[in-house]
């Protein structure tokens, strides 16, 4: 049983910053990839950033240079530092984790989401 809990969302003015956190808990053998997705009203869910257990990061073009993803493997926690926020960043942000729950079994888990709203 694996749970992902996000925190850090909120309302911020354009140009401001927020840091999102996502902690995984439960029966975890290891986590290969952790990432952040977002979904704005009327739009499809999109990948924002992801990071492997070896700290290899990937970013959507729209957030490169503004967002930084990092993780603490000992805590099974992933962070998303969001700087220079824009109104178009407004969305529900979802944490995702590719979790190895046994030595042979992997599964994909999602958090409940946290709202990020950026005002003009």
Strand 114-119 to strand 10-13: parallel, antiparallel, or no bridges (unpaired)?
parallel
pLDDT band, very low/low/confident/very high, at 46 (cuts 50, 70, 90): very high
**pLDDT higher than 90, residue 103:** no
Average pLDDT, integer, range 92-119: 95
**pLDDT for 1:** 83
Q: What separation in angstroms does the CA of 65 have from each of 59, 77, 110, 112?
A: 9, 22, 25, 27
């Amino acid at each position: 049983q694996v749970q992902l809990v996000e925190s850090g969302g909120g309302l911020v003015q354009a140009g401001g910053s927020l840091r999102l956190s996502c902690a995984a808990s439960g029966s975890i053998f290891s986590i290969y990839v952790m990432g952040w997705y977002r979904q704005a009203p009327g739009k499809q869910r999109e990948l924002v950033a992801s990071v492997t257990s070896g700290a290899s990061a990937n970013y959507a073009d729209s957030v490169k240079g503004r967002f930084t993803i990092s993780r603490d493997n000992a805590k099974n926690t992933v962070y998303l530092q969001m700087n220079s926020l824009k109104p178009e960043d407004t969305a529900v942000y979802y944490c995702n984790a590719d979790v190895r729950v046994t030595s042979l079994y992997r599964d994909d888990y999602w958090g409940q989401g946290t709202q990020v709203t950026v005002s003009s």
